[in-house]
Chain A
Amino acid sequence: MSRLLATETRILIQGITGREAIGMVRSGLDYGAKIVAGVTPGKGGQEVYGVPVFDTVEQAQAHSPVDASMISVPPMLTRDAAMEAIEAGIALVVITTERIPRRDVAQILEAAQRRGVRVVGPNSLGLIAPGMSKIGSVGGSAADTARAYSPGPVGIMSRSGGMTTEIASLLTQSGIGQSICVSMGGDPIIGSDFADLYRALDADPQTQVVVIYTEPGGSLEVRLAEYLRRARPRTPGIVFIAGRFMDEMKGVRFGHAGTIVQGPGDSAGAKAELLAGAGLTVAENLSDLPRLVGEALARYPAEGVGS
């Protein structure tokens, strides 16, 4: 698949008969997503809004080729579902389930890495290519999604699902559309991170600016800074970091599971300094984003971020 998500992306939903998944099927189909099949072991033969349900991924693939799978199953069953998708060689696996044991997540990610499968999540709200397709509950109903997201040149990647939509809406209000927006999940260990996704967005012809939302805790930004210095992408990036107040409150968790200041390097202030040093523009206020994005669009293609 050349792009993370496009109109023609054929989507499988594992756990399709669950309450949340059913809602995602409705909003996805309404939005235009090509949901071709679902899997729930023991419920083969049923349908969800006309989408056929199978007992195994293999059966679903025999019915229709699949480019991406979204997994929405209970936490203790997620590893098995993900392994089934990875073993089937599905190129993109999006995990929306939260509270999966860390050992299971580590196993999923290692298996995916060996098979060259891209994982988004866990605890992801999904991803969206505005006007084309979406996977997961990102944006809510199709009508609400269309109000917040609009097609255009800005790629968004975010550790918060809610902030993915908030930032898209802020840009849409200013007449600036989005190319691909990814809710990465706020857990301590996740699949695709800022560095992976920046690379994918830099390679996407539609994307001209990247907007990043992040928080204190973890070291994804260290990998991002290394990537920017090494690869010097042409797409300029802007980062907004919430949770400044946490810098004085070491060891207390706020919001997402991975959002906790543990060392001197993972505070909001330290991340701002690191990423500014690696060539990104740091937005002090959310309200500054439309103006900063406008300025960055004028700079595209950049000489090379990170120099």
Chain B
Amino acid sequence: MRLYEYEAKKLLQTCGVPVSQGRLLDSPGPLPRDLPEGEWVIKSQVLAGGRMKAGGIRFATGRAEVEAETGRLWRHPIHGMLPRAILLEERQPVAREYYCGVTYDPYLQRPLLVVSASGGIHVEQGDGPVGRVSLPVLEPVGDFLARRALVQVGVASAELSPLTRILVSLIRAFFQYDLLLAEINPLAKLEDGSFIALDAHVEVDEDALPRQQAALRGLSIESDGRALKPPTPFEAEAAAIDASDHRGVAGRVVEFDGTLGLLIGGGGASLAAFDAVRRHGGKPANYCEIGGNPSVAKVASLTRLLLSRPGVERVAVIMNVVNNTRADLVARGVVKGILQAGRNPAGALAVFRIPGAGEEEAVRLLRFYGVEPCTRAVTIDQAAARAVAAWRGAGA
């Protein structure tokens, strides 16, 4: 769960990271009366990186200019998202920019501290030396590990102590709040010699929310309404179906622009089936994922939703040999959904391939409706080929 910049700074500050102090505007309107003149940085609060390039960070001098730029930013989408708030910060005289971050390294399978002496937008270009130190998870992290990373990038001895304090605070926040990413970029050295986090990127582990929710609420950080890419109405409806009861998964849908509806699962087989449909020339209307033995009602609603899309005449149902999900329950849900949509299962089902638990029952039910399901002798890619052939026959 990604935090807004202003939330990230508030969170890091509780662990002792010095951050730039700003004014948060949470709705469009006139500027606060007591806002001083001077030079300001105006920052769009969206859940996206690369804000500078996307025009989400502006500079202005004096109230009039700040007012004009702020008004423009409220209406300026960044990667498709309008700002949730706007952060005004006084422009600081920067002497030098560093980068530092902590995240789980998938290769080492441990947290990794990364430091670079060339921060800001230069980090992406990979300029300059990078310090990397793997962090222990079972005992407290010693300051010496932060120093080791700093020395690797050639930090001057005079700067070592203040930078160590900031890194140690960042690491503390990473563990204390169950973060997946804690990043300060840039970490600025100001002309007066002090250090300050000018921007921060923090991601909280959603799986740890049960034990972090209270602490986050204490910082006014709420966990809902944070989709990185706003869902399409179709995707939102599918998500609502999935949330309608807790049994299994049926509704994690991503919309595509084709006309072959897909009801596929589980986590791995859905990828294999999607690849195979495309390889045979099919144009999927959606990706989706079913598994964990979803209820009949959930599968029925999802099937109906897929068929409600303009141009979608056929739905392909493909799963791996199931371990837990019951094929007959999925078959009942699919048939029910097709009938509710006013279609005929024999025509609307491009293919049905779910071998495993309950398959005999599924076969009986589907045959009753004139559908001949695939047995396990038909592979996932052969089933995909049949689905594409049926979809072509429907005049797709």
Residues of A bordering B, CB below 8 Å: 75-76, 99-103, 106-107, 109-111, 125, 137-141, 144, 147-148, 158-163, 165-166, 169-170, 173, 186, 188-190, 213, 215, 218-220, 222-223, 240, 242-246, 251-252, 254-256, 258-259, 285-287
Contact = CB atoms under 8 A, between A and B. Distances in A.
Contacts of B240: none
Contact of A166 (B210, B269, B274): B269
Which of A101, A166, A223, A258 neighbours the largest number of chain B CB atoms within 10 Å of its CB? A166
10 contacts: A102-B208, A110-B138, A140-B357, A141-B357, A160-B267, A162-B321, A165-B323, A170-B379, A254-B270, A286-B276
Given A101-B207, A242-B272, A218 B379 contact: no
Chain B facing A: main interface SS: mixed
Interface string B358-388: 0000000000000000001101111000000
Interface stretch (B5-13, B31-39, B105-113): B105-113
A160 B180 contact: no
A245 B207 CA distance: 27
Contacts of B380: 166, 286
B376 A162 contact: no
10 residue pairs, one from A and one from B, having the closest CB atoms: A160-B268, A166-B320, A242-B271, A255-B267, A101-B208, A163-B268, A162-B320, A243-B271, A162-B266, A242-B272
Contact of B137 (A110, A141, A170, A218): A110
B178 A163 contact: no
Nearest to A168: B321
Interface in B125-149: 136-138
A148 B110 contact: no
Which of A76, A161, A162, A256 neighbours the largest number of chain B CB atoms within 10 Å of its CB? A162
Nearest to B109: A189
B137 to A, nearest CB: 5
Nearest to B269: A162
Given A101-B208, A141-B357, A246 B271 contact: yes
B289 interface: yes
Given A101-B208, A103-B205, A111-B138, A286 B254 contact: no
A35 to B, nearest CB: 18
A144 B357 contact: yes
A146 to B, nearest CB: 12
B104 A161 contact: no
Contact of B266 (A140, A144, A160, A251): A160
A106 B322 contact: no
Contacts of B136: 110
Which of B136, B137, B355 neighbours the largest number of chain A CB atoms within 10 Å of its CB? B137
B268 A159 contact: yes
B111 A162 contact: no
Contact of A254 (B205, B208, B271, B320): B271
Contacts of B320: 160, 162-163, 165-166
B267 A259 contact: yes
A173 B376 CA distance: 8
A163 B272 contact: yes
Given A162-B322, A287-B381, A223 B267 contact: no
Which of B138, B228, B254 neighbours the largest number of chain A CB atoms within 10 Å of its CB? B138
Contacts of A103: 137, 175, 178, 205, 208
B268 A215 contact: yes
B321 A252 contact: no
A222 B207 CA distance: 27
